[in-house]
């Protein structure tokens, strides 16, 4: 039993240039499908890093490995030097916050309440404290509300604190998700397609917002399909293709790499991840073509009539 209402300390700020996130050899398999294969990625303090790649490249799966939603099949993720716990609420408490590709707000709660929910990892109001509602509880609650209002002001939603989240326009719901993520006082913020569904003005405003978050000392890792947004914003960009990291560098380097263009156009290119597998498929197809029209092979000893073979 506790009536302690003190606030958990936010993670210590990282020194400039210090690595905050270190992912090493992260692999995630779903049955026979390898969605992410041996990915290394480092994000330093005060850096904005972009993660791009064609649809299905493994970006969200990689994010899920960084935030404890998935436990990687292989590899290791460290935050400020410590291996991350395999539970998403513990990862948030450690200092990594995220937003989702599909907005996940509490639709029937107010804007302010949504941000207060985001603060729960930084407060430890015990059961009896909440029931008895003593002075400590009220102090902690007031501090949480004040911080939540500051964050709403920061993202431009203070005037809508009492609105229901479901009544916000789409672009503002995305901003609210960011405010809620910031409420856990993270050292690293992961944004999964923060401008999806936004008009150009909203996208521009989101860019400014991400710069302001970085200026608060929070490192940012962002997945986005809007290339202009990514190349304007990011200090470094990593490209995932078929689950593997194809290249990583500054915007100019990545933009100038013909393999990146080819990957987006779906064209094969020398040394592309999966090229070996593609060559095997071509060989098998050529073989099938060459033997087409010949008598079908005798069934093997193991074949059972009427039983489907594994595909
Ligand atoms: N839980 C899962 N179970 C099985 N397969 C999955 C699962 N999650 C993702 N995948 C598969 O892993 C691959 C990578 O998917 P992922 O969503 O990570 O890609 P993405 O780069 O984020 O794509 P997009 O840009 O379209 O969001 C896809 O082939 C997808 O179908």
What is residue 131's predicted lDDT score, i.e. its pLDDT? 58
Task: Report the residue among 58, 238, 246 best suited for mutation to probe ligand 1: largest number of ligand atoms under 8 A from its CB.
Answer: 58
Q: How many CA atoms lie within 13 A of 308 on its CB side?
A: 2
Dihedral sign, Cα of residue 240, residue 244, residue 250, residue 252: negative
69: pLDDT strictly greater than 70: yes
What is residue 297's predicted lDDT score, i.e. its pLDDT? 38
86: pLDDT strictly greater than 90: no
What is residue 121's predicted lDDT score, i.e. its pLDDT? 66
Question: What is the share, in percent, of the chain residues with pLDDT greater than 90?
Answer: 53
* Maximum CA extent, the chain: 87
What is residue 8's predicted lDDT score, i.e. its pLDDT? 42
Confidence of residue 311 (pLDDT cuts 50, 70, 90): very low
Confidence of residue 172 (pLDDT cuts 50, 70, 90): very high
Name the nearest CA neighbour of 254 among 274, 269, 234. 234
Among 28-32, 101-105, 113-117, 158-162, the least confident range:
101-105
Three-state secondary-structure class, residue 182: helix
Give the pLDDT mean for 235-244: 95
Q: How many residues does the chain have?
A: 311
Q: Which atom of ligand 1 is nearest to the CA of 63?
A: 18
Give the pLDDT mean for 30-37: 93
What is residue 103's predicted lDDT score, i.e. its pLDDT? 81
What is residue 260's predicted lDDT score, i.e. its pLDDT? 85
> Is the C-beta atom of 30 inside 6 A of ligand 1?
yes
What is residue 2's predicted lDDT score, i.e. its pLDDT? 35
Q: How many CA atoms lie within 13 A of 59 on its CB side?
A: 26
- Parallel, antiparallel, or unpaired for β 33-44 and 19-30? antiparallel
What is residue 142's predicted lDDT score, i.e. its pLDDT? 82
Three-state secondary-structure class, residue 169: coil
Q: Are 250 and 279 in contact (CB under 8 A)?
A: no
Asked if the ipTM is above 0.85, the reply is yes
DSSP annotation of 254: H
- Ligand 1 centroid, distance to 293 Cα (angstroms): 38
Domain coordinates of the chain in residue numbers? 13-95+186-269, 105-184
Name the nearest CA neighbour of 165 among 117, 127, 233, 112. 112
- Ligand 1 centroid, distance to 120 Cα (angstroms): 30
- Ligand 1 centroid, distance to 88 Cα (angstroms): 19
Three-state secondary-structure class, residue 88: helix
Q: What contacts 214, CB < 8 A, 6 or more positions away?
A: 46, 47, 48, 220
pLDDT (tens digit per residue) in 255-302: 888 888 887 766 554 555 455 555 555 565 566 666 654 543 333 333
Q: Decide if domain 13-95+186-269 falls under CATH 3.40.50.300.
A: yes
113 Rama class: left (phi>0) / alpha (psi -120 to 50) / beta:
alpha
DSSP annotation of 120: G
What is residue 136's predicted lDDT score, i.e. its pLDDT? 66
- Average pLDDT over the chain, rounded to an integer: 81
pLDDT (tens digit per residue) in 106-162: 888 999 999 998 877 666 655 555 556 666 667 777 888 899 999 999 999 999 999
In angstroms, rounded to a whole number, what is the distance separating the alpha carbons of residues 128 and 137?
A: 10
In angstroms, rounded to a whole number, what is the distance separating the alpha carbons of residues 266 and 254?
A: 17
Triad 216, 219, 225: Cα angle to 5°:
115
Residue given tokens 């993202």 in the structure block: 155
What is residue 279's predicted lDDT score, i.e. its pLDDT? 58
What is residue 3's predicted lDDT score, i.e. its pLDDT? 33
- Ligand 1 centroid, distance to 289 Cα (angstroms): 32
What is residue 5's predicted lDDT score, i.e. its pLDDT? 36
pLDDT (tens digit per residue) in 46-59: 999 999 999 899 99
State the burial class of residue 218 (Cβ atoms within 10 Å of its Cβ: 0-12, 13-18, 19+). Answer: buried
């Amino acid at each position: 039993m506790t009536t302690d209402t003190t606030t958990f300390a936010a993670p210590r700020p990282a020194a400039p240039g210090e690595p905050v996130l270190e992912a090493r050899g992260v692999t995630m398999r779903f049955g026979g499908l390898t969605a992410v294969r041996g990915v290394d990625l480092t994000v330093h303090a005060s850096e904005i890093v972009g993660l791009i790649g064609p649809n299905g490249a493994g970006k969200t799966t990689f994010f899920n490995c960084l935030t404890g939603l998935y436990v990687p099949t292989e590899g290791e993720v460290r935050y400020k030097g410590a291996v991350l716990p395999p539970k998403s609420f513990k990862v948030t408490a450690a200092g990594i916050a995220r937003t989702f590709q599909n907005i996940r707000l509490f639709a029937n709660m107010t804007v302010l309440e949504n941000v207060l929910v985001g603060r729960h990892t930084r407060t430890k109001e015990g059961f009896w404290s909440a029931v008895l509602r003593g002075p400590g509880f009220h102090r902690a609650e007031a501090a949480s509300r004040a911080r939540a209002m500051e964050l709403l002001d920061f993202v431009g939603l203070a005037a809508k604190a009492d609105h229901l989240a479901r009544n916000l326009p789409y672009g503002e719901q995305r901003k609210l998700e960011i405010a809620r993520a910031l409420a856990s006082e993270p050292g690293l913020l992961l944004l999964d397609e923060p401008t999806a569904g936004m008009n150009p003005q909203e996208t521009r405003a989101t860019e400014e917002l991400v710069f302001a978050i970085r200026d608060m000392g929070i490192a940012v890792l962002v997945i986005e399909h809007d290339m202009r947004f990514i190349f304007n914003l990011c200090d470094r960009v990593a490209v995932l293709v078929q689950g593997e990291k194809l290249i990583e560098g500054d915007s100019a380097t990545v933009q100038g790499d013909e393999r990146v263009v080819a990957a987006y156009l779906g064209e094969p290119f020398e040394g592309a991840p999966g090229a070996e597998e593609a060559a095997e498929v071509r060989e098998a197809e050529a073989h099938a073509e060459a033997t087409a029209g010949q008598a079908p092979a005798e069934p093997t000893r193991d074949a059972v009539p009427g039983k489907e073979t594994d595909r």
